[in-house]
Amino acid sequence: IFFFKCEPEVMSTTFAKIRKEHNMSLFEKVSSDIIAAMKARDKVRLDALRNIKKNFIEAKTAPGANDQLSDEAALKILAKMAKQGKDTAALYREQNRPDLAGEEEAQVAVVEEYLPKQLSDEEIEAEVKSVIAETGASSMREMGKVMGVATKRLAGRAEGAKISAAVKKLLA
């Protein structure tokens, strides 16, 4: 343990800042990162973060949200934004617009920084195997039951299409 000789007010504000950074919600983290991007004059990052914050505010002010946004809901919004961005970039590539595709991919990279690490195909299969064992599923007729549990368990860490492919492979 290191001890620093400084005024008590300085010490308490420093510890308060450290504590605050660790307990930030995703909304607060994005808001503070917007300020950092402004200071760094990083236009791509700033545009992406402003778009994220816009979507968060829309979700917070939606009817029934009670001006609240949980981190789980924020992660769903981020996953949706990343998927839409990837689809848009692919569309731009098909239309021979690499300039627009590059911009979109750069924004997707910023969005993905806030998402949890995505599982590999092997990790998804391992999780799906455990779900199949828990549910006792043995045929394709029980795919819905397995998908319901698996998508909840892997929310934010794997795309639905990859989960579905693993379930089909293991139940076939």
Residue 165 has a pLDDT of 92
What Cα–Cα distance (Å) separates residue 19 from each residue in 4, 14, 29, 74, 166? 18, 9, 13, 22, 41
Task: Using the predicted structure, report yes or no on whether residue 172 has a pLDDT greater than 50.
Answer: yes
The b/e string for 108-124 (b: 16+ C-beta within 10 A; e otherwise) is: bebbbebeeebbeeeeb
Q: Model confidence over 34-52: pLDDT tens digits? A: 999 999 999 999 999 999 9
Measured distance CA(88)–CA(100) in Å, rounded? 9
- Sole residue written with tokens 């004059």: 41
State if pTM tops 0.95: no
Q: Model confidence over 108-157: pLDDT tens digits? A: 999 999 988 888 989 999 999 999 999 888 888 888 899 989 988 887 78
Measured distance CA(107)–CA(99) in Å, rounded? 13
Q: Model confidence over 85-106: pLDDT tens digits? A: 999 999 999 999 999 999 999 9
Residue 30 has a pLDDT of 94
Residue 7 has a pLDDT of 52
